[in-house]
Amino acid sequence: MATPTATKRLAKEYEALTKSPTPYITAHPSETNILEWHYVLTGPPETPYEGGQYWGALTFPSNYPYAPPAIRMHTPSGRFQPSTRLCLSISDFHPKSFNPAWGVSTILNGVLSFMTSEEMTTGSVRASSQECKIFAARTRWWNSTGGGSTNRVIPGVSNSNSRGVGAIKAGDGGAKFRKEWPELDKSNWEYMQERRIDPATGNVAPEQTSCTPTATALRRVPAANTSRAGAVVGGAQVARVAGQSWFGRHKYYVAGAILFSYVVLARILRDSSEL
Distances (CA, A) of 256 to 34, 244, 253, 264: 64, 19, 5, 12
Collapsing DSSP states into helix, strand and coil, what is residue 37?
strand
Specify the amino acid at residue 91: S
Collapsing DSSP states into helix, strand and coil, what is residue 55?
strand
Residues with Cβ within 8 Å of residue 137, at least 6 apart in sequence: 51, 52, 228, 229, 230, 231, 232, 235
Specify the amino acid at residue 72: R
Residues with Cβ within 8 Å of residue 188, at least 6 apart in sequence: 53, 140, 141, 143, 144
What is the C-alpha separation between 38 and 29, in angstroms, rounded?
Answer: 6
Strand partners, 197: 204
Answer whether 39's CB lies under 8 Å from 53's CB: no
Please tell me which residue in 16, 67, 70, 87 is annotated as part of the active site. Answer: 87
Residue 85 DSSP code: -
Told to judge if 87 belongs to the known catalytic residues of this protein, a careful annotator would answer yes
Q: Where are the alpha helices (DSSP H) in 196-245?
A: 213-219, 235-242
Residue of 227, 228, 234, 173 whose CA lies nearest to 200: 173
Neighbours of 37 (CB within 10 A): 24
Residue numbers annotated as active site: 87
